[in-house]
Amino acid sequence: MAKPSAEIGVFGGSGFYSFIEKTRTREIAVETPFGKPAAPITLADIEGRSVAFLPRHGLAHEFPPHKIPYRANAWALRSLGVKRVFGPCAVGSLRGEVAPGDFVVCDQIADFTKGGRDASFFDGDSRGLGLPKSDHLTFADPYCQEMRRAAVAACKKNGVRAEDGGTIVVIEGPRFSTRAESEFFQSRNWSVINMTQMPEVALCRELGMCYANISLVTDYDVGVTGGKPVTHEDVLRVFKENNERLKNVLIDAIAALPEKRSCGCEASSPKIKV
């Protein structure tokens, strides 16, 4: 039997635990040198493209943002041959004009996590994998422009209001922002706030995979419009209401990707053999 493989990966987030109907999928367990990924990986054929889906929080949301096995998740996808990853996620809006239900296809990221996550594969090669003992990642443009164009076009095709570009700030979680923190993030003119994009994006780039984010706005961060503080229940409710739109956007974005990459993301990443 041929080894399971996929060319495109999709990470699921809060409220997004399944992607394609079970009748069209195959589920596999993958082991990595960094432990098990958050859940078994679901393989599917989507518009003629081989796709691997992995819910980053686990099937039952058992991994909070600061405990997600980010390295195992990224390694598992790359071990299947994945070269491009879509990372949809729930976000809070930091700008009044970006409303719940809107999408943002981000082009920049600001990392405000606290250093408690395994944020790189360059840890001294403690597992004897032949990884560089230290390296530096060129990361000025974290999101793949080629994939971003496909995502923006897919949003337009599905009649989804989407911001083309914007900065996503990533906080440690699992708590939401204080009013003072949110006020600072808003003062930088950043677009949205999230808890899982880092180190996920950087780890994928270290492994030579392109990455595009599609942010689904579920709420306003505290103080943005003078509304009440956000709750986790609010996030899940809005995400559930927009799940079908997100699935359709992802399917069309996957179908629109060119067969060969011409973005330069791989060239800017270290050479790690998986």
Residue 1 lies in a domain: no
Amino acid letter, 104? V
Residue 59 lies in a domain: yes
Domain housing 101: 8-268
Question: What are the tokens at 50?
Answer: 């081989």
Residue 246 lies in a domain: yes
Residue 162 lies in a domain: yes
Amino acid letter, 244? E
- Residue where the block lists tokens 């691997």: 52
Domain CATH number, residue 200: 3.40.50.1580
Rounded to 5°, angle at Cα 106 from 103 and 110: 125
**Residue 165, helix vs strand vs coil:** coil
pLDDT digits (tens, 9 = 90+) for 129-157: 777 666 788 899 999 999 999 999 999 99
Going by C-alpha positions, the residue among 137, 118, 151 that lies closest to residue 33 is 118
pLDDT digits (tens, 9 = 90+) for 110-135: 999 998 899 998 877 656 677 766 67
Going by C-alpha positions, the residue among 75, 52, 56, 108 that lies closest to residue 207 is 75
Exactly one of 118, 219, 234, 252 is catalytic; name it: 219
Q: Is the pLDDT of residue 247 over 80?
A: yes
Tell me how far CA of residue 172 lies from CA of 64, 152, 175, in angstroms: 10, 28, 8
Query: What pLDDT sits at residue 68?
Result: 97
The region, left, alpha or beta by phi > 0 then psi within -120 to 50, assigned to residue 128 is left
pLDDT digits (tens, 9 = 90+) for 46-93: 989 999 999 999 998 899 999 999 999 999 999 999 999 999 999 999
Residue 273 lies in a domain: no
Q: How far apart are CA 85 and CA 205, in angstroms?
A: 10
Share of the chain above pLDDT 90, in %: 73
Q: Is the pLDDT of residue 171 over 60?
A: yes
Confidence of residue 104 (pLDDT cuts 50, 70, 90): very high
pLDDT higher at 231 or 70: 70
pLDDT higher at 123 or 100: 100
pLDDT digits (tens, 9 = 90+) for 173-196: 999 999 999 999 999 999 999 999
Share of the chain above pLDDT 70, in %: 91
Exactly one of 107, 111, 221, 252 is catalytic; name it: 221
Whether 221 sits among the annotated catalytic residues: the reply is yes
pTM for the structure as a whole: 0.92
Query: What pLDDT sits at residue 273?
Result: 80
Question: What are the tokens at 171?
Answer: 């906080």
Residue 56 lies in a domain: yes
Residue 254 lies in a domain: yes
Cis peptide before 4 (omega within 30 of 0): no
Q: How far apart are CA 135 and CA 123, in angstroms?
A: 10
Structural domains in the chain (count): 1
Q: How far apart are CA 157 and CA 179, in angstroms?
A: 37
Q: Is the pLDDT of residue 24 over 80?
A: no
Q: How far apart are CA 72 and CA 78, in angstroms?
A: 10
pLDDT higher at 215 or 12: 215
Whether 111 sits among the annotated catalytic residues: the reply is no
Residue 258 lies in a domain: yes
